[in-house]
Amino acid sequence: MDSGLLQKEYGYVLLSGVGGSFLLNIYLATRVGKARKEHDVKYPTLYSPDNEKFNCVQRAHQNFLEGLPIFLTTALIGGLNHPLKATAFSCIYLLGRIVYALGYYTGDPAKRNRGGFMYIGFFGNLGLTIYTALSLLELV
């Protein structure tokens, strides 16, 4: 398919950013559902007043959702001019999110920091987005 506007490699941005986020969200939500059953936390309770382990699982998912809009925005915009770089940054971000969640699942919130390398992907896509904006304004 020749879009005339987008590089064909932009498809990788969509697969990694949108597709990867969708799959990761399903994984994280499933883990919360399992933790609800395991720790007997009923809906609509968002956080347990007395179960830190459940709260860590819930928090890993919630934190992913909080960062999702800006991640997708920067990946999709940054990928307009540099689709392969945006794809790589998106993969780094999502892999970091997985490691972040796995660290949180231990019940020790400090172990979530093992996934801190996700910010390489985040700030990489942010930089590509800024570059795209400056290019549109013909400042670079």
Q: Which of 107, 113, 104 is nearest to 51 (CA)?
A: 107
- Binning pLDDT at 50, 70 and 90, where does residue 81 land? very high
SS3 80: coil
pLDDT given for residue 4 in this prediction? 67
* Arithmetic mean of pLDDT, 37-56: 94
pTM, full prediction: 0.93
Neighbouring CB atoms inside 10 A of 38's CB total 12
- Binning pLDDT at 50, 70 and 90, where does residue 3 land? low
Where helices occur in the chain by DSSP H, the ranges are 10-13, 20-39, 52-78, 83-104, 118-136
